[in-house]
Amino acid sequence: TFDDNKAEEIRRANVGGTENAISLARRFDRLDRFYYMSTAYVCGKRTDIIDEDNIENSEGFKNVYENTKWQCEGIVRTSGLPFTIIRPSILIGDSRNGDSMGEARMMYGYLLALCQSARHAIEGASSFPEYWHRAKTQRWANVNARLYGSGEVTKNMVTVDDAVRVCMAIRASGGLAEGQTFNVVNSRNLPIAYIVDSMQRALRLAGYSYDASLPPTGLVTDNRVERAAYRRTRPFFPYARYTEPNWVCNHRPISDIPRVTMTEELCDFLMRRFVEDTIVSKPR
């Protein structure tokens, strides 16, 4: 979760969990490697070039989650264990079948919050299957609602199967990966406005638009959808506020790690499956 109101819970899960895992790993005399799944966002608010070395963060963090993951990297590096750190960006779906695996956090959590809020645009639609039926047989719904942030902010998404392929290649490299850190990011960022529009098209919805003038707190509006979207997406505001840095993916000293990518077509496919499997088929 990105909710800073749950800061202590996040610290216990990330920092405490990592310390416990290291404590357990130390009991194994023949430990081959301690693999730590970090996040590309340990770079915090930095927007410059982010390499695969240890990150000295001088710009601060967007949320407690990033801060704790950065702390965890330090704990792993100083543990004395043979380690490899893997830093994926935003994990989303499976490129082969679009399966979101029931995920309702991170980017999917943000999109789910927008979908839940949009239900107010259809009079009397108490569930998404009902909403879907009305939208398909009657009309597209226009929510006519502003969203916090800038639609020009870009996001870097990596499908789960791409991330798994990279992780398996790192594992297969043997000792070459020891003590190394790997950014697992794609070569292309997508504007968040495109991602949300893709979700809207899949849901036969229109009218969400970003407004950079909206305040981070205390929005006053008579628009029901706008109020709901503002409240539900608050923990995800950093998604629409901070654009991505330029990650370096040298993957040194391993040369044959597969590259990952994200296209508009793949994004549209993932959004259609997300809407069909997670939204339409389950009452919310």
pLDDT for 67 equals 94
Place 240 in a pLDDT band, splitting at 50, 70 and 90. very high
Comparing CA positions, the residue from 168, 152, 190, 179 lying closest to residue 271 is 190
Single-letter residue type at 267: C
Q: What is the mean pLDDT of residues 3-28?
A: 93
Query: Taking Cα atoms as reference points, which of 148, 284, 153 lies closest to residue 226?
Result: 148
Give bridge partners of residue 85 from the DSSP assignment. 36, 181
Instruction: List the beta strands (DSSP E) in the chain.
Output: 34-37, 49-50, 83-88, 90-91, 141-148, 154-155, 157-158, 181-184, 190-191, 205-211, 246-247
Going by pLDDT thresholds of 50, 70 and 90, the confidence category of residue 129 is low
pTM of the model: 0.86
Calculate mean pLDDT across residues 246-258.
Answer: 81
Hey, what CATH topology would domain 4-280 get?
A: Rossmann fold (3.40.50)
Q: Where are the beta strands (DSSP E) in 53-175?
A: 83-88, 90-91, 141-148, 154-155, 157-158
Supply the mean pLDDT for the chain. Answer: 87
State the DSSP code for 99.
Answer: -
Domain positions in the chain: 4-280
Residue 120 reports pLDDT greater than 80 = no
Residue type, 159: T
Strands (E), 151-224: 154-155, 157-158, 181-184, 190-191, 205-211
Cβ–Cβ contacts within 10 Å for residue 238, how many? 18
- In which band, very low, low, confident or very high, does the pLDDT at 198 lie, cut at 50, 70 and 90? very high
Lowest mean per-residue pLDDT among 73-82, 193-202, 231-240, 275-284:
275-284
Ramachandran quadrant class, 174 (left: phi over 0; alpha: psi -120 to 50; beta: rest): left
Respond yes or no on whether the N-terminal peptide bond of residue 253 is cis (omega within 30° of 0). yes
β-bridge pairing 246-247 and 49-50: parallel
What average pLDDT does this structure show over 99-104?
78
User: In the prediction, which pLDDT does 133 show?
Assistant: 58
pLDDT at 210: 96
Greatest CA separation for the chain: 66
Q: What is the three-class DSSP state of 169?
A: helix
